[in-house]
Structure 1
Amino acid sequence: MNVPNMLSLIRLCLVPVFAVVFFLPDPSAHQWAALIYAVAFATDIADGYIARRFDMITKLGRVLDPLADKLMTFTVIICVTADGIIPVWAVVIFFCKELAMGVGGFLMLRRTKDVIPSNWLGKTSTGVFFVVLAALVLFPVPRPWATGLIAFALALTVAALVSYAMNFRKMMQNNL
């Protein structure tokens, strides 16, 4: 177990903490939840940097890192939706995209014993999603603006899905 993998595990542990704090009846609950989310995002940046900089990339880390990211993001988007800030269709789109990524990753792992590494579009969409969701947690954004912001973030994640799907297709063809 290396430092980047431990950071991913910390991020996984922060998922239920975020959900509990978000729904506390305290007026500052959303600020505390946003801080937890920011810490999770910081650990994501740190684990990726450390893993690449010090050549600590592992197969476990290539599974743990995106799992922790997706579970946190999914939890935040569900909480924001349950709070009535964004429409339910945003969760459905996000879930379908993540399900497709999960199934593709599982198939690739079974066939090649590896998964597709993240790329700049995936990292960008993760960053944009973080900023949008953090803003929706912290600020009273009017519903039309919130819907527009989440639609923009979802468009980027769908673009990342298309990029990963093209790489998936190439890798699967090379391993026939």
Structure 2
Amino acid sequence: MNVPNLLTLFRFVLIPLYLFLFFSDLPNRMYWAFGVILLAGLTDVVDGYLARKHRQVTQLGIMLDPLADKLMMLSVFLSLLISERISIWAGVAIVLRDVGMIVGSAFFHLRGKRTVPANALGKLTTFLFYVALFLLMFELPFAQSFLWGVIALSFVTTLIYLFQFKMINQRLM
């Protein structure tokens, strides 16, 4: 187990910590909860950098890294849905896309297909989701509109990933 993969596993541990903080009665709980989200984002950047720099990119990491990201995002958006900071329709759109990507990635990985590593558009989409989370958690103006723009971009990104997935696995046949 290399350091980048350990950092990815650490992000899984941050999910219940985030949920505890978000739903707690602690003073400044939103700041603490958002801090956990930022820590998850930082470890995502660091593990990717270390994996590439030290040539430690593994199939396990390629599969676990986006899974950790998706589960964190799902947890955050479900907490926002439960606390009524986002609409049911925004929650459904996000959950359908992310669960579909998780299940699809796991299904094809288990069938011996190669998964597609994150690309620049996927990273931009993730960054914009973080901005949307900030706007939503602190109930800032235009948060809902911004979120819908990011949701639309995320579906475009998913279509691109599907195309890349098809191309990478056709070459292997």
- Asked if 1:14 is matched to 2:14, the reply is yes
Task: Indicate the SS of the match to 2:26.
Answer: coil
Superposed CA deviations along residues 65-108 of structure 1, whole A, max 9, x for unmatched, are 11110111111111112111110111211111123322332343
Counterpart in 1 of 2:77? 77
Structure 1 residue 173, shift from structure 2 partner: 3.3
Q: Within 5 Å, which residues of 2 pair with 1:127-138?
A: 127-137=127-137
Corresponding residue number in structure 2 for 1:106: 106
Q: Deviations over 1:20-45 (max 9, x none)?
A: 10011123111110111111110001
* Structure 1 residue identity aligned to 2:133: L
Over the matched positions of the two proteins, sequence identity in percent amounts to 36
Q: In 2, distance between residues paired with 1:96 and 1:169? A: 21
Question: What is the number of residues matched between the two proteins?
Answer: 173
**2:153 is aligned with 1:153:** no
Cα gap change, 1:175/1:100 in structure 2, threshold over 3 Å: closer, same or farther?
farther
When residues 31 and 140 of structure 1 are mapped into structure 2, their CA distance, relative to the original with a 3 A threshold, is same
Q: Which residues in structure 2 correspond to 1:26-105 (within 5 Å)?
A: 26-105=26-105
Q: 2:71 is matched by which residue type in structure 1?
A: L
* Aligned 8 A contact 1:108 1:172 in 2: no
Relative to the length of structure 2, the TM-score reads 0.92
Output the aligned Cα RMSD. 1.6
SS of 2:146's equivalent? Answer: helix
Single out whichever of 99-108 and 2-11 deviates more from structure 2.
Answer: 99-108
Extract unaligned runs of 5+ from structure 2: none
Q: Residues 8 and 44 of structure 1 are in contact (CA less than 8 Å); yes or no, is this contact kept in structure 2?
A: yes
1:171 & 1:50 partners in 2: Cα distance? 24
Q: Is the 8 A contact 1:86 1:146 kept in 2?
A: no
Equivalent residues of 2:113, 2:169 under 8 A apart? no
Distance 1:10 1:115 in 2: 22
Are 1:23 and 2:18 matched, yes or no? no
Where relative contact order (Cα < 8 A, 6+ residues apart) is larger, the structure is 1
1:110–1:10 CA distance, 2 compared to 1 (3 A): closer
1:168 aligned partner, one-letter code: F
